[in-house]
Structure 1
Amino acid sequence: MRSDLRITSAVMDATLLDLPWEVPLEEWTEEDVVQLPKGISRHLVRFARLGGRVVAIKETTEEMASREYSMLRRLQRLDVPCVEPLAVISGRTGADGEELDSVLVTRHLRFSLPYRALYSSSMKRDTAQRLVDALAGLLVRLHLVGFYWGDVSLSNTLFRRDAGAFAAYLVDAETGTLEPSGLSTGRREDDLEVARVNIAGELLDLAAGGRLDESIDPVAVAASIVEQYRSLWHELMSDEVIDASERWRISARIERLNALGYDIEELAIRTGDGGTTVNIQPKVVDPGHHHRRLQGLTGIDAEENQARRMLNDLDQYVALQHDLRPTVGDEALANEWFERVFAPIVESVPLELRGKLEGPEVFHEVLEHRWYLSEQRQCEVPLEEAATSYIETQLSFRRDEAALLGVPVTTAISVVPIETGAILLEDEDDDPDWRDKV
C-alpha cells in the first residue's frame, strides 16, 4: 500500500520506510510507539523508535506539515533553539484504501521535558518562575530574528535543565511567520499578550487538577513573562547615555549582556555635546557567548548556563597553571582541563546512573555540591571527593531524564581525543518506569 507514499527530507533516511505509515497513527501498537511525556497538542502526536533514536510524529494536513517543516529548517539556520525537522510523509493510504493524514517527523530533543511533566504539587515556586523566564528568553531570541510565533505557550515549548535553570526550545511552529525586515513593536506585543494569556490558562488548568503547588499564583507567574521579556529586550536594544568620565560602564554593559547569553558584534559609540556623553547601542547581538567559547576551547556542547559555570572552573584552572607554567598556551591548558578534570568526573558516574542527567549538568552539579561541602567544612574539598559524595547522596536519588526508553545502555559515555572533534558521546538509558516517576 506504499506505492503513493511521498517522503520529503533534506537527508534521506531509509529507516523511515520501516514505520507502519499505512496504519492511522492512533492505531499504532506498543511495538511502534515509545511512551514519553508529551505536552498538549491540537494534533495527534506519537513518539516512535527510528534507527536507534526517538522521533516525534504529528498528524496534520500535507500543507501544514510542509510549511512547518520548512519553517523549522529556516529557524535552525538562524540558530534558534527548536526541534530538528526530519521529514514530511504524505500520500499515506490505509489498508482499506482510505487516504490518511500526512505527518511531520521531528527528532525528539534528548533530555527534554514538557512543562506538564515538570509541574507537580511538590514543585517550588522558583522552578515555576524559571520555566516562564526561559520562555521569555526564547521569545526574545525569536523576535530578534523576525519570527512571529502567534501561539506562544508552555505547551508549544520543551525544556532542558541548564545549570539550575531551564533552556527553552520551540516545538510547534505551524502558526509562525518570519519577517526578514524585523517585527514591529505591535507584533511583538501581540505575541507577548498571547503568551501571558496562554500561560495563565495552562497554569490554571494544572491548579484545577491539583497539580500545582498552592503557593503558586498562576496569573502572577504568567504576567511575569511580560516583565522578564521587556527587561531582556531593553538590555539588548536600548540606548544608554553615560558620562564620558564613566566609560568603564561600557564594559559593565557588555558583561551584563554576556551574562544574559548574548554577544555584541558592534557598538555605536558617539560623543555628545562637548564630548561629555557616550551613547551605547548594541547593533548586532548573537546568543550563546559562553556556549560557543566553551565549545571552541574544549569541544563540549553545553547549554549556556552550564557553559558559564564550567568556564569559571576552566578559567581558574588555566590561571593557576599559567602561574606554574607560563609558556603553555590557553588552548593546550583547556585540552588538559578537559582530560584531567571534566572527563574523569563525568566518567566516574556508574553506568546504571548515566541516564539521570547529561554530562555537562552532572559536572555543574558536582561543582555546586563541592561549594556546599566546602562551606560546611570551612575548607576546600577536592573535586573527586565532591563527585563521590554527589553521586552517593544526590544523583542516585534523581529521576531519570534520559530521552529514550527501551534502549539499553551500551557505552553511556566515551571520551575521544579532542583533536578528533568528537568529545563527548552519551547513549540514553533504559527506564520503563519513566511515566511513573514524572
Structure 2
Amino acid sequence: MQFATGPDPTDLLTLPWSTPLEDWPKEKLVSLPRGISRHVVRFVRMGGIVYAIKEISQGLAEHEYELLRDLAKAGIPVVQAVGVVANRTTPEGEPLDAALVTKHLRFSLPYRALFSRRLDVDLEPKLLDALAELLVRLHLVGFAWKDCSLSNTLFRRDAGALAAYLVDAETGEMRPSLSDGQRQQDLDIAETNLAGELLDLQMSGLLSESVDPLATAVSVIEKYERLWAELTQPQTMGEDEWWRIEKRLARLNQLGYDVAQIQINEKDGDPHILVQTQVVEAGHHRRRMFNLTGLEMQENQARRVLNDLDTYRSRAVMPETEVDEDTVARHWVTDVFEPVLEAVPPDLAAKLEPAEIFHEVLEHRWFLSEAAGHEVSIEDAVKSYVDNVLRFRPDEQALLDPDLMGNGLMNPDDDEEEPDPEADAAWEAAAMRYGG
C-alpha cells in the first residue's frame, strides 16, 4: 500500500484497504448525497474531515490525482486530491483496484440533490450558467474534460456566488492550449450529457415544466460560446483608455456574470486585461457593497459601482502585491465615492439618491471617454454631468415626498416657467442616455 500524499495519512492508513470498497463496514462510512458514478464511491470521516474514496485502476487513479493537483494550482475550482492507495490486495492475496482519495467539498451538493430539495426557484439557470463558466475556465488553462456533465460536478454557494466544482477528471487531458476542434469535441459531449441528465430529471418530476431539456442543453453551449468570446477576445489599452474596461464589464454583466477579479498585465508595453467571472444569486451585489463600504444601494446600482471599485483595485494595487479587499474599499470610498458626491452642489443633491448620482456619473464618464477616445478624469466627468444632466433632472426627492406638497415646492398652480430650448435639448439627451 502506497500513499502519494496526505495531510494526516496515519488516520487514513487505519481504514480497511484490504477489503473491496463496496464491502466496507457501515460504521466506517458517512452517508452523503452523491451523483451518478461508474465506480464504487464511499465517504468516510477521519479526524473531523470527510474524505471521498473512489475505487479505480491504478493508472487512472494516478492520472486523475495529477490532473486534480494541476488544476488546483491553476486556480480552477476542483475537489482537493489527497492521495492514491495502490498495490491493494485481499488477505488471500487477490489484487484490488487502487483508490483515489479526495477531500469532500463542504456544503456542496450534486445536482440531483439540489433539484430534489428545490432550494431556489431560479435554480436551473444559475446552476447551468455555473457549469458553462467552469467549462470555459477549464478550456482557458488547456484542460479537455471529455466527460463534462452535471454528474461530474458539485455545486456550492460561496458568499452569494454559485460555483461549480469539477469532481471527476479521469477522462481529462491537460495540454498547453486547446484547438477549436478539441473545444468543440468537449462541447458536443457536454450537450449530449446535459440533455440526457435534464431528460432524466424531467422523467423524475424534478424539472420545472417550463424547461425544455434539449433546448436548455443547447442554451448552455450558447452561453459558453458567448462567455468564451468575451473572455478570450484580445484587448490591450493605452494609459488613458481605462474606460474600455467599463465597456467590457458591462457586456459581461449583460451575459449574467459578475466580475470576480480583474488582472492587468503588461504585454508589449501596453496593459493587457484578464477578467475572471462568477455566477451570483439575487442580492449578492447589495450585500457585498454593504459589507465592504457600509453603503446601502439597490442591486443594479451596487453591481455597477462594484465594477468601479474592482477597476480601482486593479489600478491602485501593484502587481504581485496582496492587499485585502476591505482596505481597498475604504480607500475607494474616501478617494472616489465621497469626492464625487461632495462635488454636487447642495441645491442639486436632492434630485437623485446618492447611489444613483454616482452610478450616472460613471455612465456619463464612460460616454465622454468613448466620444473623446481617451480617459476622461472623474473630476471633469462630475462637472459635465452636473452642468449638462443633473441640473435638468426633476427633483425626485420632492416628487416622492408628500410633505412637500403645498409648500411652494410642488404647487401645481404655480405659473409654468418659460421654455428653455437649450435645457429641453439637454434633458432630452439625458433621457435617451439614461432611460428617461
Give the structure-2-normalised TM-score: 0.61
Q: Is 1:251 the equivalent of 2:250?
A: no
Is the contact made by 1:15 and 1:50 (CA closer than 8 Å) also made in structure 2? yes
User: Could you tell me which residue of structure 2 aligns to residue 190 of structure 1?
Assistant: 185
Question: Structure 1 residues 260, 233: closer, same or farther in 2, change over 3 A?
Answer: farther
Query: Which of residues 96, 104, 113 in structure 2 aligns to 1:100?
Result: 96
Partner Cα distance (1:14, 1:304) in 2: 41
User: Could you tell me which residue of structure 2 aligns to residue 285 of structure 1?
Assistant: 274
User: Could you tell me which residue of structure 2 aligns to residue 159 of structure 1?
Assistant: 155
User: Could you tell me which residue of structure 2 aligns to residue 42 of structure 1?
Assistant: 38
Question: Structure 1 residues 220, 269: closer, same or farther in 2, change over 3 A?
Answer: farther
1:183-210: CA deviations, max 9, x gaps?
1111112111211110110111122223
Question: Structure 1 residues 93, 304: closer, same or farther in 2, change over 3 A?
Answer: farther
SS at match of 2:27: coil
Once the two structures are TM-superposed, the CA of residue 52 in structure 1 deviates from its matched residue by: 1.2
Once the two structures are TM-superposed, the CA of residue 96 in structure 1 deviates from its matched residue by: 2.9
Once the two structures are TM-superposed, the CA of residue 212 in structure 1 deviates from its matched residue by: 2.3
Q: Is 1:84 the equivalent of 2:85?
A: no
SS at match of 1:172: coil
Question: Structure 1 residues 171, 305: closer, same or farther in 2, change over 3 A?
Answer: farther
User: Could you tell me which residue of structure 1 aligns to residue 311 of structure 2?
Assistant: none
Partner Cα distance (1:104, 1:333) in 2: 37
Q: CA RMSD in A?
A: 3.9
In our comparison, the structure showing a higher alpha carbon Rg is: 2
Once the two structures are TM-superposed, the CA of residue 29 in structure 1 deviates from its matched residue by: 1.8
Question: Structure 1 residues 189, 199: closer, same or farther in 2, change over 3 A?
Answer: same
1:111-155: CA deviations, max 9, x gaps?
000001011395766311211100000011111111111100000
Once the two structures are TM-superposed, the CA of residue 308 in structure 1 deviates from its matched residue by: 5.3
Which structure ranks higher in relative contact order (CA pairs < 8 Å, sequence separation ≥ 6)? 1
Once the two structures are TM-superposed, the CA of residue 227 in structure 1 deviates from its matched residue by: 1.5
Partner Cα distance (2:163, 2:271) in 1: 24
1:221-278: CA deviations, max 9, x gaps?
2111111111111211225799xx99734433256559333423237799xxxxxxxx
Q: Which amino acid aligns with 2:199?
A: L
Q: Which amino acid aligns with 2:210?
A: S
Q: What residue ranges of structure 2 are gaps of 5+ in the alignment?
A: 297-316, 318-322, 331-399, 402-436
Once the two structures are TM-superposed, the CA of residue 333 in structure 1 deviates from its matched residue by: 11
Q: Is 1:212 the equivalent of 2:183?
A: no
Q: Is 1:67 the equivalent of 2:56?
A: no
Q: Which amino acid aligns with 1:30?
A: K
SS at match of 1:120: helix
Partner Cα distance (1:212, 1:200) in 2: 12
- 1:312-331 to 2 correspondence within 5 Å? 312-317=289-294
Once the two structures are TM-superposed, the CA of residue 164 in structure 1 deviates from its matched residue by: 5.4
Partner Cα distance (1:234, 1:171) in 2: 26
Question: Structure 1 residues 85, 308: closer, same or farther in 2, change over 3 A?
Answer: farther
Partner Cα distance (2:181, 2:141) in 1: 16
- 1:333-352 to 2 correspondence within 5 Å? 334=326
Partner Cα distance (2:159, 2:324) in 1: 26
User: Could you tell me which residue of structure 1 aligns to residue 5 of structure 2?
Assistant: 9
Is the contact made by 2:155 and 2:164 (CA closer than 8 Å) also made in structure 1? yes
Once the two structures are TM-superposed, the CA of residue 318 in structure 1 deviates from its matched residue by: 7.9
Q: Which amino acid aligns with 2:193?
A: N
User: Could you tell me which residue of structure 2 aligns to residue 29 of structure 1?
Assistant: 25
Is the contact made by 1:149 and 1:176 (CA closer than 8 Å) also made in structure 2? yes
1:285-328: CA deviations, max 9, x gaps?
263799xxxxxxxxxxxx99998555411343289xxxxxxxxx
- 1:364-379 to 2 correspondence within 5 Å? none
Question: Structure 1 residues 282, 130: closer, same or farther in 2, change over 3 A?
Answer: farther
Is the contact made by 2:79 and 2:166 (CA closer than 8 Å) also made in structure 1? yes
SS at match of 1:151: coil
User: Could you tell me which residue of structure 2 aligns to residue 142 of structure 1?
Assistant: 138
- 1:297-308 to 2 correspondence within 5 Å? none
Q: Which amino acid aligns with 2:191?
A: R
User: Could you tell me which residue of structure 1 aligns to residue 226 of structure 2?
Assistant: 231
Partner Cα distance (2:200, 2:148) in 1: 17
Residue correspondences, number: 302
Question: Structure 1 residues 108, 96: closer, same or farther in 2, change over 3 A?
Answer: same
Q: Identity rate of aligned residues, in percent?
A: 47
Q: Which amino acid aligns with 2:213?
A: P
